[in-house]
């Protein structure tokens, strides 16, 4: 038995397998959700009380069975993906814009802005955010907008730190100095010369955070603190299905599988991107 040799070539094949699987899972789920309006015009809402709690794989009209109100589980799983993907994508976009801007400013101009930002970031990263979010959502009431808002507040710091670190490494490099020497303005240096160079790590972090936020949203909604329980969502379906676990396992199993496939796809993509864009491991823990 040899201890820790260099990775064999099979690793590369495995990497491509990861990429393909990641694209298939994420792409498949995204397409299904995007076209859910065509696939299920009723939005998974139509009830058929004669067809309550039908088991899966027996009726072609209800491939994944029906829930206690006779609603199609497959339709609700696909439609429920709208919430998860919306929250995942919007929260990450918000956090990345805010965080990148702050990180660029702190890293490029340094001085007092940097000191304040970094102290603020230290404190914020040490706060147990899920607990604080639970408290605020419990008090302010639920809603998709509030969930997204809290995720942005919780995560922009990660991007700010990452970007600041990259900018510090770049700002005294020759190509920046020469740009400045020929009179290029600060704004243009930041957005045209520095930003493109820090995009790789940002994209990796974004992918993994979309995955994380989908998990987080489903948890909050499951607890009754996230999205309105009347809107179909994966977390909400799991909360409903729990009551019927004994008689109808499928109501709880399939929304969970939907979360798992989507998040796994994103994690595979994120992992592959990390190998591809960031071989030196800036973004790895």
Q: Does 264 bind other proteins (CB under 8 A)?
A: yes
**Could you tell me if residue 183 is left (phi over 0), alpha (psi between -120 and 50 degrees) or otherwise beta?**
left
Establish how many alpha carbons lie within 13 A of residue 54's alpha carbon, considering only the half-sphere containing its beta carbon. Answer: 21
Written as six digits, the tokens of 206 are 């974004």
Q: Which residue, 43 or 256, has its beta carbon nearer to other proteins? A: 256
Q: How far apart are CA 81 and CA 26, in angstroms?
A: 12
Q: Does 169 bind other proteins (CB under 8 A)?
A: no
Q: Does 7 bind other proteins (CB under 8 A)?
A: yes
> Which of these ranges, 117-125, 143-151, 175-183, 196-204, lies near other proteins under the rule CB under 8 A?
117-125
Q: How far apart are CA 204 and CA 167, in angstroms?
A: 17
Q: Does 97 bind other proteins (CB under 8 A)?
A: no
Contact partners, residue 159, CB within 8 Å, separation at least 6: 95, 96, 98, 99, 100, 103, 202, 205
Q: Does 242 bind other proteins (CB under 8 A)?
A: yes
Q: How far apart are CA 224 and CA 226, in angstroms?
A: 6
Among 8, 183, 187, 196, binds other proteins (CB under 8 A): 8
Q: Which residue, 8 or 279, has its beta carbon nearer to other proteins? A: 8
Burial class (CB in 10 A: 0-12, 13-18, 19+), 227: buried
Q: Does 211 bind other proteins (CB under 8 A)?
A: yes
Q: Does 134 bind other proteins (CB under 8 A)?
A: yes
Q: Report the interface residues with other proteins, using CB under 8 A.
A: 1, 3-8, 10-11, 14, 119, 122-124, 126-128, 130-132, 134-136, 138-140, 211, 215, 218-219, 222-223, 225, 235, 238, 241-242, 245-246, 249, 252-253, 256, 259-260, 263-264, 267-268, 271, 285
């Amino acid at each position: 038995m040899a201890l820790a040799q260099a990775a064999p070539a099979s690793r590369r094949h495995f990497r491509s397998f990861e990429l393909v699987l990641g694209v298939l899972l994420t792409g498949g789920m995204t397409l299904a959700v995007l076209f859910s309006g065509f696939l299920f015009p009723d939005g998974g809402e139509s009830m058929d009380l004669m067809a309550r709690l039908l088991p899966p794989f027996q009726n072609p009209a209800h491939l994944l069975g029906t829930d206690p109100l006779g609603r199609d589980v497959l339709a609700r799983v696909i439609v429920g993906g709208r919430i998860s993907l919306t929250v995942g994508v919007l929260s990450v976009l918000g956090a990345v814009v805010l965080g990148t801007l702050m990180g660029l400013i702190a890293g490029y101009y340094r001085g007092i802005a940097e000191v304040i930002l970094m102290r603020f970031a230290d404190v914020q990263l040490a706060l147990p955010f899920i607990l604080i979010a639970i408290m605020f959502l419990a008090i302010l009431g639920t809603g998709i907008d509030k969930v997204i808002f809290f995720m942005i507040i919780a995560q922009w710091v990660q991007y700010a730190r990452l970007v600041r670190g990259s900018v510090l490494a770049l700002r005294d490099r020759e190509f920046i100095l020469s740009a400045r020497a020929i009179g290029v303005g600060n704004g243009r240096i930041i957005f045209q010369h520095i930003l493109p160079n820090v995009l790789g790590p940002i994209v990796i972090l974004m992918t993994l955070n979309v995955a994380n936020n989908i998990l987080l949203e489903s948890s909050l909604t499951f607890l009754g603190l996230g999205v309105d329980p009347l809107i179909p969502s994966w977390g909400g379906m799991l909360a409903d299905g729990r009551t019927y676990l004994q008689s109808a396992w499928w109501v709880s199993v399939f929304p969970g599988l939907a979360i798992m496939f989507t998040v796994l796809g994103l994690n595979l993509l994120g992992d592959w991107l990390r190998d591809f864009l960031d071989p030196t491991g800036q973004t790895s823990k």
